[in-house]
Structure 1
Amino acid sequence: MIFAYIVLPILLVAIGTPIFLVFLTVVAVAMLFFLKIPPVALQQVMFGGLDNFALLAIPFFVFAGQLMSSSGIANRLIAWAMAMVGRVPGSLGVSTVAASTALGAISGSSVAAVAALGQTLYPKLIAAGYGQRRAGGLLASSGAIDIVIPPSIAMILYGMAAEQSIPRLFIAGILPAILMAVLLSLFVVVDSMRRGIPSDHAFSFKAAAKATKDAFWAILMPVFVLGGIYLGVFSPSEAGGFACFYAIVIGLFVYRSMTLRDIVHAAGSAAMLSGQILILVAAASVITWIVTTQGVPQAIIAWINAMELSAFAFLLAINLLLLAIGAFLDPTSAILVFAPLLAPIAMSLGIDPIHFGIIMTVNLAIGMFTPPFGLNIFVAQQVTGLPAHTLYRGVAPFVVVLIIALIVITYVPALSLTLAH
């Protein structure tokens, strides 16, 4: 059993096996050679793992994100964020953080935000004097906000895995995401003052008004989507469908920047990305089923109870564990595997499961740009052309900044729960 659950997955990951195949191989070996479970159970549990209405929100929001790129909504939001910031040292860097937050509020995709911002803002950051290392690190790290601010695909998966309310998770993520954005912006301002990087532009009411007018319909998208969820007008899945419809209408008839060919191309890209996510869901559901039927969660709870850990110590240990996991696993895989195991333990210690979901999401968001395998680092590398070692050094101070945010989010539950209750 040690070979199946520990040695085998380490070997498979080391040789570059896709994560979903790692999950399926581990389960298949355990079922055939150790547990003597009929192989037909594998496919039954996989399909059962996908039989969840909440998962419909994922392809919808992924498609909406692709449509935003095709319709010009993303670029208008970036221009609007840049116009709203001025008169502070490093205003272009602050604009990068603001633009990433705005994109996250309508797509929930960290990778998409890093790609879009990198193409648009990286040359400007270099021209403004930020340097390759700092510019690359800022782009890779600011995308972490997109996993936390609603609508968040990671929170949809946590809500499904831990059987928690997705709308409440969305609401709970608002203030933590704002805290992350504020701390990143403050660091950019202080660092720009130290490095002598001036304000990129003075704030202009005329320019801000023009950018707001140009991006008006883009800005309304998260208002309609999130407002509809919070007011109970539609479920998260229905909100995702509305976001797609809204992006198509705005792109075709308002901005007139999108064609039917663009819609088909966006649909194909969204189908590919959704398939990658959902096959991970199916594979991870088998892992969860195996460890649950073998009594692993109950054994862990008993072990923790025997250690008499306080909630404070437990959360500290969980943060260290998830930060390490996030540096190697993507948030989708990590949440699907660990949320069903850790959420019951947290609840047994009196920790609110919604608050715990935010803690998990923020940890794995930081992992998105933590060396060696943070996905945002690889995306930034493709967009900027920078070598990995330069980006590793570039993200280091931003990892520290967001760990400070994580500590506040972890030990000040009101930050997450005030709006959610």
Structure 2
Amino acid sequence: MIWSLAVLPLLLLAAGTPVFLVFLTAVVVTMMFVMPLPPVALQQVLFGGLDNYALLAIPFFVFAGELMSTSGIAHRLINWAMAMVGRVPGSLGVATVAASTAIGAISGSSVAAVAALGKTLYPKLVASGYGKERAGGLLASSGAIDIVIPPSIAMILYGLAAEQSIPKLFMAGILPGLLMAGMMAGFVVIVAVRNGIPSEGRFEPRLAWQATKEAFWALLMPIFVLGGIYNGLFSPTEAGGFACVYAIVVALFIYRTMSVRDVIRAAGNAAILSGQIMIIVAAASVITWMLTTQGVPQAIIAWINALQLSALTFLLAVNVGLLVIGCFLDPTSAILVFAPLLVPMAIALGIDPIHFGIVMTINLAIGMFTPPFGLNIFVAQSVTGLPAHSLYRGVGPFVVVLVLALLIITYVPALSLMLGSQL
């Protein structure tokens, strides 16, 4: 079984096989040659993995993010962030981090943030003195914040895989996400001071007020969505539906930047992306089922217990392992496969599963822009036109900054649990 569920997937990944086919091939080969099972079992688990009400939140938030990008809401948020920064050294880079954080509070999509920011800000960053590599690295890495700031698609999937409260996970991601943004912004300021990168003007109350008015309805969206969840007005799934309706109303009737045909086109794009996510969810549920029925989680827990690792040592090992895994797997696949295996071990060592979910999410968020296969790198490459090796150099310093943030969040659980304990 080891060769079919461990060696074979690695070979398929190295060959560039799509992730969902890697999972399905490993399970089918195991069922055919290692552990004969009726084919109907595969079908039942495959479709059963999608039979969860909470999964409806994913296409809703994907659609809301697509509406945001095509309606110009994201552009208004970028302008607002730039108006708020003022005379801070390297203000354009700081505004990039702030805008990414604001976009993440609406869509929860790292890829969408990189695409939206790259088209608008990359030429300005280069012209301001950041250089092509540093500008591309900043854009690719700032999108990682979007996976941590709620609402987060990755946290929805972790909540399902680990059977944890999604609202608590959302609340737990606020302070860690802000810490990541703050450390990235601080690093940008240091780089700007050392390299003589100027600010983009000064803070003017009149311009800031004008930008706030233009972005007002966009800024209200995360307040309504998250406020509704935390006050018990609706579930995360219902919040996703509300976000879609809100974005459509704002785009059609307030900003008037979209037509009905544009909304339908955005729905089609969201359906394609949601389908890509859901097929990974279904395939991952199959390989998780296979591992569970073979007693792999129990065997790993017994092995960990035999090593007598402390909670701190276990978390360090998990961080190293997930950082490596994140270089090759997207967060969706990694969470669905590894959360069911790792969460029972964490609980056995006395680690809060909500805190562990934040640690896991941040690891995989960093993997989104870590060479060689970080998805944000490829998105930034398509937007900026830079070769991959230039982007690898550009993201390097930001990997270091966010790994430092990860260590702080890992070993200071209060950052993740302080707000969630209020629910």
TM-score bracket for the superposition, by shorter chain length: over 0.9
Equivalent residues in 2 for 1:23-102, closer than 5 Å: 23-102=23-102
Q: CA deviation at 1:15?
A: 1.7
Q: Secondary structure at the match of 1:50?
A: coil
How far 1:3 sits from its partner (Å)? 2.0
Work out the CA distance in 1 between the residues paired with 2:240 and 2:3.
Answer: 42
Aligned amino acid, residue 207 of structure 2: A
Deviation at 1:32, TM superposition (A): 1.2
Partner of 2:408: 408
Q: Equivalents in 1 of 2:299, 2:375: separation in Å?
A: 33
Q: Which position in structure 2 is the counterpart of 1:5?
A: 5
Q: Distance in 2 between matches of 1:317 and 1:10?
A: 20
Give yes or no for the alignment of 1:143 onto 2:137.
no
- 2:277 aligned partner: 277
Contact 1:109 1:147 in 2 (8 A): yes
Q: Secondary structure at the match of 1:351?
A: coil
Q: TM-score, normalised by structure 2?
A: 0.99
Give 3-state SS (helix, strand or coil) of 2:49's partner.
helix
CA–CA distance in 2 between the matches of 1:74 and 1:226?
18
**1:118 and 2:118 aligned:** yes
- Structure 2 counterpart of 1:137, one-letter code: G
Contact between 1:80 and 1:212, CA under 8 Å: does it hold in 2? yes
What's 1:246 paired with?
246
Q: Secondary structure at the match of 2:106?
A: helix
Quick one: which amino acid aligns to residue 211 of structure 2?
A: A
Deviation at 1:87, TM superposition (A): 1.3
Describe the superposition over 1:343-384 as per-residue Cα deviations: whole angstroms up to 9, x where unpaired. Answer: 111000000000000000000000000000000000000000
Report the counterpart of residue 310 of structure 2 in structure 1: 310
Gaps of 5+ in 2: none
Rounded to whole Å, the distance in 1 between the matches of 2:160 and 2:11 is: 30
Q: Which residue in the other structure is 1:103 paired with?
A: 103
User: 1:157 matched to which residue of 2?
Assistant: 157
Over residues 232-289 of structure 1, what are the superposed CA-to-partner deviations in whole Å (9 max), with x where a residue is unaligned? 1000000000000000000111001110111011000000000000000000000110
Match of 1:236 in 2: 236
Counterpart in 2 of 1:393? 393
Q: Which amino acid aligns with 1:380?
A: A
Cα drift, residue 324 of structure 1: 0.2
Counterpart of 1:206 in structure 2 is: 206
CA distance in 2, matches of 1:319, 1:14: 22
Question: Match for 1:342: what amino acid?
Answer: L
In structure 2, distance between residues paired with 1:236 and 1:201: 40
Mapped to 2, the partners of 1:7 and 1:181 lie a distance apart of 38
Distance 2:68 2:209 in 1: 22
Opposite residue 103 of structure 1, the aligned amino acid is I
Distance 1:10 1:338 in 2: 15
Moved more, 11-20 or 212-221: 11-20
Shift of 1:322: 0.2
Secondary structure in structure 2 of the residue aligned to 1:200: coil
Contact 1:90 1:200 in 2 (8 A): yes
1:193 maps onto 2:188 in alignment: no
Give 1:10 shift. Answer: 1.8
- Is the partner of 1:106 in helix, strand or coil? coil
How far is 1:2 from its partner?
Answer: 2.4
1:39 CA drift (Å): 1.3
**Secondary structure, counterpart of 1:250 in structure 2:** helix
Per-residue deviation at 1:198?
A: 1.2
Partner SS, residue 171 of structure 1: helix
Once the two structures are TM-superposed, the CA of residue 7 in structure 1 deviates from its matched residue by: 2.2
Q: Give the whole-Å Cα distance in 2 for the aligned partners of 1:361 and 1:85.
A: 28
Q: Does the aligned pair in 2 maintain the 1:45–1:286 contact within 8 Å?
A: yes
Determine the structure 2 residue equivalent to 1:219: 219
Gaps of 5+ in 1: none
For 2:133, the equivalent position in structure 1 comes to 133
Measured in 2, the distance between the counterparts of 1:131 and 1:57 equals 39
Q: Residue 380 of structure 1: SS of its match in structure 2?
A: helix
SS at match of 2:151: coil
Aligned to 2:166: 166
Aligned length: 421
Give the percent of matched residue pairs that are identical in Structure 1 and Structure 2: 76
The answer on whether the counterparts of 1:87 and 1:203 sit within 8 Å (CA) in structure 2 is yes
1:71 CA drift (Å): 1.7
Quote how far apart the aligned CAs of 1:169 are.
0.1
Counterpart residue number, 1:332:
332
- Tell me how far apart the structure 2 counterparts of residues 72 and 228 of structure 1 sit (CA, whole Å): 24
CA contact (8 A) 1:32 1:39 kept: no
Is the Cα contact below 8 Å between 1:32 and 1:38 reproduced in 2?
no
Equivalent residue number for residue 354 of structure 1: 354
Shift of 1:103: 0.3
SS where residue 17 of structure 1 aligns? coil
Q: CA deviation at 1:396?
A: 0.3
Regions of 4+ moved over 2 Å: none
